[in-house]
Amino acid sequence: MSNTDFDVCVRGSGIVGRTLALLLGQAKLRVALVEPAIQTNAGAASIGRDIRAYALNHASRQLLETIRCWPSSPATTPVKQMCVFGDAGGVIHFDAGAGEASNLGDALAWIVDVPSLEDRLEDALSFQPFVERVNEPVEAPLTAICEGKFSVSRENLAVVVDTYAYPQHAIATRVRASRPHWGTASQWFYGPHILGLLPLGGGQGDEYAVVWSTSIAEADRLLSLSDDALSLEMQALIASAEGQSHEKGSQDVTTATAFTLTGVRARWPLRLAKAQQWVGTMPGAPDQSWVLLGDAAHTVHPLAGSGLNLGLGDVGLLSQALQQRPVWRSVADRRLLRRYERERKSALLPYAFVTDRLQWLFWQDQPWVQSLRNLGMRGFAASPFKSWALNQVRHA
């Protein structure tokens, strides 16, 4: 296929970009996938396994199954329970329910190992004749920008991004536990810390992906510790947070568990960001359009694990809109693209609002705020709204 034959040029070959290319190729749209000469994860590959893991919901799983890229166990771990602990007795437990049908209803979410997912996407691309890999952008009626939060293409288009930098950094690593996790994910809000443990290795595994958000000063201190000292610090935080829970049996989750670091450590600053404009006309080419997807369009706090789900939601809606458009309508049609922008901005709003407010609420150290937020957690756990929220998480 020659460079003048493309319908869509996808800039960015991460999970969002590759998934979009495969979905459009499956619909027989001609796609150019721009891949850099040096992959961004080459450094991680050179030192061993990638420490990243994503919590994917049912909609994301269905999307990846459509292109036959859903990894098999133990690369995917079903989350059967989710336990969220406040810092003064607040506890919320989510349970998938043992009596439900053994299909998409048997898990709250799935924790997916990143290298395994990337391998599946790579294999699928090698068999997709409608997707051609290129080393630099080419002209096409539609350019889909999936380059991530520091997108060069978005910057070159002079798109304004509304950004709030949180006074926090996130640390990621992996640990092995002294006993199986049985598909339980846990999260603790304690002082400046938001600590999440995501189960890995299948339902009976004993490994976790760690995402630890904290103040910049605390991140500096934690990264200066030895592996053993960091493990003990994590166990101490869990014991302190769960020790304040008033719910009988809550300490059985992980307080008695010992952890050993098994992965390297990564760190990144946290921010809330949304591009003001997600679609537009390519400069000097009135018949060509561009569209933003994934982190190039938005980023949220990682405490809810929504980042990749939101990006794959962008992919699902855009690919659906392009596939279902009338034959007379171009893939560059601005009316079609603006509809995508409106719907995805609306979908982003509640996630961005909730994660931002939760981060703010637990960042405050006044005693009355602490009491209020934990009272709210206990009230939420006992209310009918919990079932509604659980359904939103599972089927969004």
How far is Cα of residue 380 from the mean position of the Cα atoms in its chain? 24
pLDDT at residue number 92 = 78
Tell if the pTM clears 0.85, that is, is over it: yes
pLDDT at residue number 273 = 95
Q: Mean per-residue pLDDT for 199-228?
A: 94
* CA dist., res. 326 & res. 333, Å (int): 11
Q: Which of 168, 167, 162, 200 is nearest to 183 (CA)?
A: 200
Indicate whether 2 belongs to any domain. no
Indicate whether 1 belongs to any domain. no
pLDDT at residue number 42 = 37
Indicate whether 134 belongs to any domain. yes
Asked if the model's pLDDT at residue 243 lies above 60, the reply is: yes
Of the two residues 252 and 179, the one the predictor is more confident about is: 179
CATH number of 252's domain: 3.50.50.60
Indicate whether 157 belongs to any domain. yes
Q: Mean per-residue pLDDT for 177-191?
A: 91
Average pLDDT of the chain is 85
Confidence of residue 391 (pLDDT cuts 50, 70, 90): low
pLDDT at residue number 141 = 97
pLDDT at residue number 104 = 43
* CA dist., res. 305 & res. 310, Å (int): 10
pLDDT at residue number 250 = 41
CB of 118 closer than 8 Å to CB of 15: yes
Of the two residues 249 and 357, the one the predictor is more confident about is: 357
Indicate whether 270 belongs to any domain. yes
Q: Is the dihedral of CA 82, 297, 278, 325 positive or negative?
A: negative
Interval 314-349: pLDDT, tens:
999 999 999 999 989 999 999 999 999 999 999 999
Q: In terms of residue numbers, what domain contains 241? A: 8-395
Asked if the model's pLDDT at residue 188 lies above 80, the reply is: yes
Indicate whether 191 belongs to any domain. yes
pLDDT at residue number 277 = 97
* CA dist., res. 91 & res. 252, Å (int): 13
Confidence of residue 47 (pLDDT cuts 50, 70, 90): very low
CB of 118 closer than 8 Å to CB of 35: no
User: Cis ω on the peptide bond leading into residue 74 (within 30° of 0)?
Assistant: yes
Distances (CA, A) of 202 to 75, 114, 249, 358, 393: 7, 14, 24, 30, 21
Confidence of residue 390 (pLDDT cuts 50, 70, 90): low
Indicate whether 38 belongs to any domain. yes
pLDDT at residue number 124 = 97
Interval 7-40: pLDDT, tens:
999 999 999 999 999 999 999 999 999 997 654 4
- In this structure, how many other beta carbons lie within 10 angstroms of the beta carbon of residue 44? 17
Interval 292-321: pLDDT, tens:
999 999 999 888 778 899 999 999 999 999
Asked if the model's pLDDT at residue 84 lies above 80, the reply is: yes
Number of domains in the chain: 1
Share of the chain above pLDDT 90, in %: 63
Indicate whether 33 belongs to any domain. yes
Interval 124-138: pLDDT, tens:
999 999 999 999 999
